[in-house]
Chains A and B, each alone.
Chain A
Amino acid sequence: MKPAMEPRQGPEQAAGKSYSVKINVDEFKLLGDFIYRKTGIRYEEKKIYYLNKRVGSRMETLGMDSVAEYLRYIRFIDDGSELQQLINLITVNETYFFREYEQLQSFAEVCLPEIVSRKEAKGDRRLRIWSAGCSSGEEPYTLAIILHEMLDDFDKWNIEILATDIDKVILQRAMDGIYTDRSIKDVPDEYLERHFFRSLGGTYRVSSDIKDMVTFEHLNLYDKPSMRSYKGLDFIFCRNVLIYFDEASRKDVVDHFYVALNRGGFIFLGSSESASRVTTAFKIRRAGEMLVYCKE
């Protein structure tokens, strides 16, 4: 394996249309509870303005006059498609390539070699990684690039990167694999040259080699039956996603991650997040400058 990654050099925010609605406190509670039951995402009262805009946008599209009407529709009539539309608007999608570089360095230079050498010793050449909450794809493609660069005999490995998100619109963007300057600002020059094509319009397209390594799937992390089908992962990345969940739902999600990981596997959360506050089942280990969580 190569010893080190290239050094780095440098959200898609859901925007609602301006349609004037004012959700009152009771309506906010009803809607908030409904969203929580369906997705595990908890909105506090101070975020009422945020939902105002997004709900307003949906109401305008559906030609509805009152929030009460919209609530009745989404809670009792909708077959799930309106809920999905709302989810697509309310989920925050801020991300870029090689985000939280130091953590990726720990993954690339400590955790990955450890798992690779353990698997090689057993003649197992399968690597499975899950990017949970992948948004517009920068993270799973970043992981694909890292694997491409760090594994010596890359072609001999059977690599599967699963990338899931609750937002279908953003997943389509991820599958397109086309990005602006803002997304690639931290990509090391060498990697940019090798794994991206720059179009005349100034956007960057991920190479097909990298794209082919990633499989995108729609997944709601709060959907227990779906979550329970994910098993046999060596690495799970779920960074800056769980902050939208409350304590109880966060616990359920992290527990599923634990079950989904192979023994010796690693989970990576955002640098401001802590798995040990959620469950003590993971063991904390040092990997370079970072602390990482391992299923022993």
Chain B
Amino acid sequence: MDNLKNMLTSEDESERLYAVQDMAESGKREYCSLLLGRLRIDESQLVKDAIVSGLKRLDCSEMFDPLFELFVSDDAYLRNQSVGILASQKDDAIGYLATKFDHADRDVRKLILDVLFEIGSPDAVLAIRAYVNDASPNVKIAAVEYLGRLGDKQSVDDLLSLIEHETEPMLRSSVLDTLGLIGERPDIRRVLKAISPNGRIDQVDALYLPQLIRLIARTGDRESLVRVLASIQDIILYAEDYLSAVNQATNRFPDLCSDETLCGRLVSIIRAREVRTGVRLSAVEMLASQAGLGGALPDILFELGLDLMNEPEMTVATVRLLASSGRMEAQAAIRKLISGIKDDDLRMLCTDCAGLTCEETTIRKRAKRKEQA
């Protein structure tokens, strides 16, 4: 032990590193205090990282007090690393931290939460749940977020109470985000009542719309979903959330895009040049993949394809739309478009896209004819 102690104070960085490694490998808890002491003063990032890694492998239960003291260190690295080291001690650390849950400093309480989240055990989740009623909004928000990430469905009632009684917007947003992960359909009514006058979807504060959309997309019934999506006025601002919701919801409601209003909104997103190209392309794909629903959709796809022909960055999307429309005139339009493309890779991509889409369309039409027969 003496030899390793001496090596730990060597001027040679590699000697100190080797001492740390050997101490960690020994499994001896007696080394913890030496390592923690060195962590505070060593100038080498290599050695400090190795000490942190080493402490995580050792039983540090006798070092809980000095580790906890690092929560108020001026050094952000020490504060953050002490969280990880305590978390590595699993439920033993929870037992210790339980005596500190009501610490006066909210930043310390937040760090305690971080430890609990990293441990993630059932006991840790119970402790996190208690923080939902903390005095500090920031601590509450962290607790709410962690419960969502840990998938703690049993905390839903607490979260619903929170959104019903709290008015702090960031906190409510956070609760909605978490409910989007763990909430269920019956919870939506309570949520709507809490965030909108008269419980009306079209009167929900715009601040909460993205989270509400996500929640309803994942768990809501078709009618609620269509209503909330149709109620969004500024479709450009919420384009990404809208698409994400429709995408998620079509897993449960494959004919969702047959709704005229929703379909119209997708078309608006596609036409809007101020929307990010990637989002527009996703909207094209979503609409094109719904071509099999028939009705007015093939015509919409064809017209939209023609409209986009003047936008070079939407060339592939244009081909996709025209090809998926299944219209006879689309073939000629596609051929003309492709023949004008100078870039070999782009021309090949468009040809492939047209070919694959036409194949899809043919298969779809055959299936429909068979069905009708």
Contacts and interface: CB of A to CB of B under 8 A. Distances in A.
Interface of A: 224, 228, 247-248, 251-252, 255, 258-259, 279-281
19 contacts: A224-B21, A224-B22, A248-B53, A248-B56, A251-B49, A255-B17, A255-B21, A255-B49, A258-B46, A259-B14, A259-B17, A259-B46, A279-B45, A279-B49, A279-B50, A280-B49, A281-B44, A281-B46, A281-B49
Nearest to B77: A280
A247 B24 CA distance: 14
Contact of A259 (B13, B53, B56): B13
Chain B, interface SS category: helix
Nearest to B57: A248
Contacts of B50: 251, 255, 279
Contacts of B56: 248
Top 3 closest A-B pairs, CB basis? A281-B46, A259-B14, A281-B45
Contacts of A228: 14, 18
Given A258-B46, A279-B46, A281-B46, A251 B53 contact: yes
Contacts, number: 34
Contacts of B53: 247-248, 251
Contact of A252 (B21, B44, B45): B21
Nearest to B22: A224
Contacts of B25: 224
Nearest to B53: A251
A34 B211 CA distance: 49
Chain A binding surface, main DSSP class: helix
Contacts of B14: 228, 259
A252 B22 CA distance: 10
A260 B21 CA distance: 15
Given A224-B21, A248-B57, 5 more contacts: A224-B25, A252-B21, A259-B14, A279-B46, A279-B49
Contacts of A281: 44-46, 49
Q: Which of the four size classes fits the interface of chain B?
A: 10 to 19
Interface string B48-59: 011001001100
Nearest to B56: A248
Among B22, B25, B53, B57, max chain A CB count under 10 A is at B53
B56 to A, nearest CB: 8
Interface of B: 13-14, 17-18, 21-22, 25, 44-46, 49-50, 53, 56-57
A255 B57 contact: no
A191 to B, nearest CB: 27
A280 B45 contact: yes
Contacts of A280: 45, 49
A191 B49 CA distance: 42
Nearest to A228: B18
Contacts of A247: 53
Contacts of A252: 21
B43 to A, nearest CB: 12
Nearest to A252: B21
Nearest to B14: A259
A104 to B, nearest CB: 24
A151 to B, nearest CB: 30
Contacts of B21: 224, 252, 255
A182 to B, nearest CB: 28
Nearest to A231: B14
Nearest to A225: B18
Contacts of A258: 46
Contacts of B13: 259
A248 B50 CA distance: 10
A247 B56 CA distance: 11
A211 B44 CA distance: 39
A249 to B, nearest CB: 10
A252 B57 CA distance: 12
A279 B52 CA distance: 10
A224 B22 CA distance: 9
Contacts of B22: 224
A247 B25 CA distance: 14
Nearest to A251: B53
A107 B110 CA distance: 44
A279 B45 CA distance: 8
Contacts of B46: 255, 258-259, 279, 281
B274 to A, nearest CB: 31
A279 B49 CA distance: 6
A281 B22 CA distance: 19
A224 B46 CA distance: 17
A12 to B, nearest CB: 32
Contacts of B57: 248
A279 B77 CA distance: 13
Contacts of A259: 13-14, 17, 46
Nearest to A250: B53
A78 B328 CA distance: 76
A281 B49 CA distance: 8
Nearest to A279: B49
A188 B208 CA distance: 57
Contacts of B49: 251, 255, 279-281
A266 to B, nearest CB: 16
A224 B44 CA distance: 20
A13 to B, nearest CB: 32
Nearest to A224: B21
Contacts of B17: 255, 259
